[in-house]
Amino acid sequence: MPVISILRILPRLLAALGLLAPLAAFASDDCKPHSLFTPMPGYHVHSCEHSDFDAKGIPIGLDEEGSVKLKTVEGIYELVVYVVDDIDENPQPASPLKILRNHLAAASAKGATVVWEEGSDSYLMAGEWSDIQQRSATLKMEQGGREYWVHLGSVNDGDYYAIASISAEPMAQVVSVNELLAQLDKDGFLALEVHFDTAKATIRPESAGVLDQAASMLREAASMKAEIGGHTDNVGDAAANLALSEQRAASVRQALIERGIAAERLTAKGYGATAPVADNRSEAGRAQNRRVELVKR
């Protein structure tokens, strides 16, 4: 999987209001404020991006040649872009430095540490985006038992700012088929660590190992039938969430059939957001609720 530097993502997203076309692809009425921070007064969410599992390059400093050093982190990715409420009526928004200091203070109160901070009128970043981003910082913090790497950036005299985070989440550890069967006998279901493209039923390549193991377990328990249950968080339209959960359950069922499991042994059903296992008010909770379960029948 190619690693994309957040430094290269932010400038494209922060050049809002049509200055750079790619931003429009991320705009959505369903976008919400970043889960870790309260928005600055006088700003509103313009656009966002989210991935259940991704790899990003987090800037952590400069090397001896002045190039940005990146730390690759895998996990849940969240990016929110904010824009000043009305630039015509509010011609003097908060300065990039004030925006940065405000968020650093809020993060510090939560126990965050500053890994790297940079910024000036001519920003450090080399290449085509060097004249866009003005103030930036990388933080490391823990919330809800998860480790977060956060990159903050403010541009264009404070007209826009963005918060990008990735919560370090190791891939599910491989356990034996016998252990999976024992857990299934005990609990009646298994949560499959299957990852999908955002808002789609397309299974991501890194889920192949989980599906292979689930198929091996079903071959071992040859007489068992199972339901594949899809679940979502409560963000967005309930009907759309129900449809997405059904599509994801069907995708997993089909993936198991393609691995040799008889179709008549498997059913697929979507539950939308009706059966949460965690609090939907936090991103960590919403991530737990976006899941696929294999239920013994």
DSSP 51-108: EEEEEEEEEEEE-TTSPEEEEEEEEEEEEEEEEES-TTT--S---HHHHHHHHHHHHH
At residue 133, does pLDDT exceed 50? no
CA distances for 5 relative to 2, 11, 164, angstroms: 10, 11, 11
Phi (first) and psi of residue 182, to 5 degrees: -65, -40
Q: What is the pLDDT of residues 7-23, one digit of tens each?
A: 444 444 444 323 233 34
| Confidence check: pLDDT of 6 > 80 | no
* pTM, to two decimals: 0.51
Distance CA(124)–CA(131), nearest Å, equals 9
What separation in angstroms does the CA of 17 have from each of 32, 66, 125, 276?
18, 31, 22, 37
198-219 pLDDT, tens per residue?
A: 889 999 887 888 898 999 999 9
Query: What average pLDDT score do residues 128-157 get?
Result: 74
* Residue 69 pLDDT greater than 90, yes or no: no
Residues near 43 by beta carbon (within 8 Å), at least 6 away in sequence: 82, 83, 84, 85, 93, 161
Structural domains for the chain:
4-168 (no CATH), 177-296 (3.30.1330.60)
